[in-house]
Structure 1
Amino acid sequence: MRVIRSVVALAAVVAAMFGSAAVADAAVTTPWRIEYGASVAAGTIGWTDGRSATVSGTIHAVSGYREVCVWGVNGTYTSPVECDATFPGVDAPFSEVLTINQVGGVQVIYIHLSDQYNHDFGQLRCTRAGCVHQ
């Protein structure tokens, strides 16, 4: 019994000295949707257990040019901004892979809907737990 306690105590000391290994987040899928009038951008975010996440969806424009821009954040690190767009009457599918090569990878994703003049039609802040309008 004394040996087991010693081993457990030693393991606790070693973990405290060197830090315990971080467990990777599980892969999950988060739905998202932004509406502006009859225009809709909607899709999913595929969060990996690594450093990347894939934002996929379709942009449906009715009365004018619509653009969706996405980017990922982890603390002070940001992925490049990726944008996709369409014109009225054209449903445009898209898929963008966002990567942050830091521990934890992409933690937050922003999805922004606008027009050709960069008028703000809505923005989401998304995590593995879901998306909220900003």
Structure 2
Amino acid sequence: MKDYIAKAAKMTKEMVKLETEGTGDTDNAMRRLSDRHKLPYQLLWNLRFRPPKSIAYDLVLFIAEAYRKECRSAGAALLVEAEAALIEEGLNATDRNILVAARSVGRHAEGADEARSFGRNAAAA
């Protein structure tokens, strides 16, 4: 299997894992991802369960963009959850510093995620 297909399959599996709400929800999770990101459902299914031998590279780039958006969304949700937990327990100076650092890392990590570097790495292969 080509490297870029393996990466697309990995990103698809991770997106489905993030989207799945429980046991037996895999098919529905793939349909929600398909609708949200305008990706063909059959492509997601194939990448999840039976990676193809070849795939149009522009579809791989669309998957990478969808993966980046899903990761950003999941990270934002975790940050909100962490903020709520810290506020509920009462913030101290150390907690505030950790929260500020987490926000800063989140903003700076957007340019270094796998999806952004994906196009450059695959083009060199």
Counting strand residues as a fraction of each chain, which structure ranks higher? Answer: 1
- Considering Cα pairs closer than 8 Å and 6+ residues apart, tell me whether 1 or 2 has the greater RCO: 2
Counting helix residues as a fraction of each chain, which structure ranks higher? Answer: 2
TM-score, normalising length from structure 2? 0.25
TM-score, normalising length from structure 1? 0.24
